[in-house]
Structure 1
Amino acid sequence: MIKYLWLSLKMQFRIPFSIFFALVFPLLMMIIMIASYGNFPIGNGYHFIDKYFLISTGIGLVPIFMISYPIWIAESIQNNSYRRLSYLGVEVKKMVVSDILSYLVLTLINVSLNIVVALCPQPCLMSLSQGVLTFILAGDILKKSRQLY
């Protein structure tokens, strides 16, 4: 079962759009919102990050459970991949359960990352956002320099 779960997770991480909208985009939105408006108090001891944490978590969970998972299952049924896997001796029930568990693991990663970013103080968020932007720009510059040669 662990082997099937590992394979399902590897297949999940091979789809960059799914990973981006499930893990990266909610964090970027949280960092942008906190950087733009600050972490002002909203009453009863709560701050803006306390409210936006739930929004960011929801932004990450919607693509996982409303888009990626149903499309994954429907596509697997439509192209008969489960049937072909059963012909090859793969236990299909374990594979389906591992697919479901891989989405749950992706959800736990999403919530964990949101908690870590929400617990960072605002100066830490600024440094984190600058580091991420520098990493993205450095990758883009490196890619363009490779295209020149």
Structure 2
Amino acid sequence: MEEDYCQKNKFIPRELKTCPEYGKPRISFGWCKDCETNSMKENFLYWTSENKEIDELIRYTQLNAPQTCDYLEWIPFEKFEMVKYIAKSICNDEKLEIPEDTPKFYAELMQQCWDDDPEKRPNASYLNKKLGEWITLICEVEESISCRRTRF
């Protein structure tokens, strides 16, 4: 394969050339499926989410990823410094400041999500419905504006 590219006088970055270990073409920038799969497989013993089903799902995605970035990876919570900071802020009842130009309906939804009582917070179905309504409304407004422009 490399010869074909050389014959056509095309430059191929090293990261896209044939994998030296397996002799197969890389399918993505620096990604050799066989090399990466074997590397991930070797690391299965060194990490766990401590949940068998989650571990199996992550391992399945790693073994079957068609290319780079198409798999899940377990990252321990301790490695997320920003998450710890945010969690501490939430526990101290600190909330993000809502910018003045935030649409009222959006600010209200944010505040509902922050309610101390979990029963008063919107659930995923409600959020999905609301966001769907907003997207539909935005599309209708954009379509209306587009129609007005074409009339003139």
TM-score normalized by the length of structure 2: 0.28
Higher Rg of the two aligned structures: 2
Task: Identify the structure with bigger relative contact order (alpha carbons < 8 Å, sequence gap 6+).
Answer: 1
TM-score normalized by the length of structure 1: 0.28
